[in-house]
Structure 1
Amino acid sequence: MCISTIFIKDLDNSISIAFNREELASRSFKDPDFFIHRNTKIIAGIDSLKGGTWLGINENKIFCLVTNRESSKSKIKSRGTLVLEMLARKNITDCLKHLEEETKNNTYGGFNLIVGNLKDVFYKNNTSDKVTILKKGRHFLSNSFINDKKSKRIKAMSEKCSKLTSSNFVTKMKKNLDLSSLKNNYMPKSSSSIIKITEEKILWLHSSINDDFENWHELETARLFK
């Protein structure tokens, strides 16, 4: 079970993302780093078990993230590999086409997926063929529908983010990502990321159980464009 906050700001044409990955402590993973997949430069973390990712961005400033939804059936394909393949696309049109083709047979476990760039951001889950374009402003995503007012976790995060702006996003989300008071049988967070995407650059801060959450590390995102 993960939680993410997306802030789409039209005035400065930026996108800000905060993401908690929650997973069993025994499930190992690689912290977000630079690599090349299908001839595309990508920064993403990697799940050591299935080889997919929960959050990433590529050289074309296309980002993609996924959270799990409860699923009654055991599916064949890993949701994280869907994100990785989306990040291998060159443009949003190709992303949406790939998303439609890959999910039409319902071979993935339950998921919420967001993919976008500085121009458009889209949301889809496994319960519908519909793809929704997200409007400017704040959006919250956990293991239910996006902006689900019935979700205790989304409600808690929404309240914490009531005064969230593009300029204070990084500072506030360093504190707001801590939802440890909402136990509810959720697994502990294994990593946290805060990303801000602008025309000029990409900022990615990361904190992880791999270093006991002692520090926020800034990733070298300029490697995407070299």
Structure 2
Amino acid sequence: MCLIAFSWQPQARHLHLLANRDEFYARPTQPAHWWPDSPTIWAGRDQQAGGTWLGINRSGRFAALTNVREAQMSVGKRSRGELVTDFLTSSLSPQAYLAQVLSQGEQYAGFNLLLGDLAMDKDEGELWYGGNRAGGEARRLNAGSYGLSNAQLNTPWPKLTRLKQGLAQLDETNEASAFALLDDTTQATPESLPNTGVSPELELLLSSAFIHSSTYGTRAQTYLCIKDQQLDIIERSRGAQAELISTQRLQLILPSA
């Protein structure tokens, strides 16, 4: 997952989120579904390492992951996708889970992790952020608007700023407008590009919300809304020609205490 914008109201357990996952087209992936081997998880699945980039479970837990872009991309001893899967099957609080993960952060390549527990038996919902690079200290998120790409939380990259602005004006019932924001191919101007250590040409390619090249691009797009105990999530899968392959939908009523 490489781009996430979301608004969050913990007292109402109201989470409104847009996300794009970018990946090499050659990496095999399953669209979102209930996992046969972990039947409480609804998520897409990376068939190479077995994990996922964004998912939910039946009790109101949510998790999403982005990579950290670095000039020298390292390969961790463990797959980052397991961080989402393990939280969705864990009984640990987001705070305790992040503490455990970040204590072992050197085993993974650079990541940002977003964890939520919106169970109805709590006074209010919890949403936490943490990562294994500088600035990624674990923190509980207060009510507000946030964005996450391949740097730390709320780093104002142009595509992230545009997506946050679009989300703030979005009618939650307008699915077409939500995916139009995720389909945005507008690239940043050269002077506004971040400097993450990769080439200017690559920075430009990666500067749009929707990415497409011959080998790498946006593979999955997610629209999620949790409000009034109801969870609605839509995932669109995209192919190597940027074509729409499939659409997965789920509506779920979160269980009461």
- TM score, norm. by length of structure 1: 0.84
Q: Would you say 1:120 and 2:121 are equivalent positions?
A: no
- Shift in Å at residue 221 of structure 1? 4.3
Deviations 1:18-63 (A, max 9, x none): 110111111120001112556x611011111111100001122010
Q: How does 1:137-176 map to 2 (within 5 A)?
A: 137-149=144-156, 151-164=157-170, 167-168=172-173, 170-176=175-181
- The answer (yes or no) to whether the contact 2:61–2:117 under 8 Å persists in 1 is yes
Indicate whether 1:88 and 2:93 are aligned.
no
Instruction: String of CA shifts for 1:117-147, please: whole Å, max 9, x gaps.
Output: 2311101011257211112122111101111
The answer (yes or no) to whether the contact 2:231–2:251 under 8 Å persists in 1 is no
Report the 3-state secondary structure (helix = DSSP H, G, I; strand = E; otherwise coil) of the residue aligned with 2:164: helix
Residues 177 and 143 of structure 1, relative CA distance in 2, 3 Å threshold? same
Residue 207 in structure 1 maps to residue 208 in structure 2? no
Please give the root-mean-square deviation of Cα atoms over the aligned residues, in Å: 2.7
> Does residue 67 in structure 1 map to residue 72 in structure 2?
no
Matched residue, 2:98: 99
Secondary structure at the aligned position of 2:107 is classed as coil
The answer to whether the 8 A contact 2:5-2:18 is kept is: yes
Aligned to 2:212: none
CA contact (8 A) 1:20 1:193 kept: yes
Cα distance, 1:168 vs structure 2:
4.9
Aligned residues: 219
Cα separation, 2, equivalents of 1:215 and 1:53: 18
Measured after TM superposition, the shift of residue 173 of structure 1 is 1.8
Counterpart CA distance in 2 for 1:113 and 1:81 is 11
Instruction: Provide the residue aligned with 2:221 in structure 1.
Output: 192
Q: Look up the match of 1:56.
A: 55
In 2, distance between residues paired with 1:65 and 1:82? 9
User: What residue is the counterpart of 1:110 in the other structure?
Assistant: 110
* Change over 3 Å in CA distance of 1:26–1:55 after alignment to 2: same
Change in Cα spacing, 1:219 to 1:161, as seen in structure 2 (3 Å) is: closer
TM-score (norm 2): 0.75
Q: Which moved more, 1:137-146 or 1:204-213?
A: 204-213
Deviation at 1:174, TM superposition (A): 1.7
Is contact 1:14–1:199 with CA below 8 Å preserved after alignment? yes
Q: Report % sequence identity.
A: 23
Cα distance in 2 for partners of 1:215, 1:30 equals 11
* Residues 69 and 143 in structure 1, CA contact (< 8 A), matched pair in contact too: yes
The residue type equivalent to 2:243 in the other structure is D
- Match of 1:123, as an amino acid? Y
Aligned to 1:177: 182
Which stretch of structure 1 is more off in the superposition, 64-73 or 179-188? 179-188
| CA-CA distance at 1:181 after TM superposition | 2.4
CA distance in 2, matches of 1:49, 1:64: 20
Give unmatched runs, 5+ long, in structure 2. Answer: 119-124, 188-202, 207-215
1:152-175, CA deviations, whole angstroms, 9 ceiling, x for partnerless residues?
22122233334246x457453221
Flag the 1:101–1:36 CA change in 2: closer, same or farther, 3 A. Answer: farther
CA distance in 1, matches of 2:89, 2:24: 27
Cα distance change on mapping 1:10 and 1:75 into 2, 3 Å: closer
SS of equivalent residue, structure 2 residue 21: strand
Report the Cα distance in structure 1 between the residues aligned to 2:37 and 2:98, rounded to whole angstroms.
17
Structure 1 stretches (4+) deviating beyond 4 angstroms? 168-171
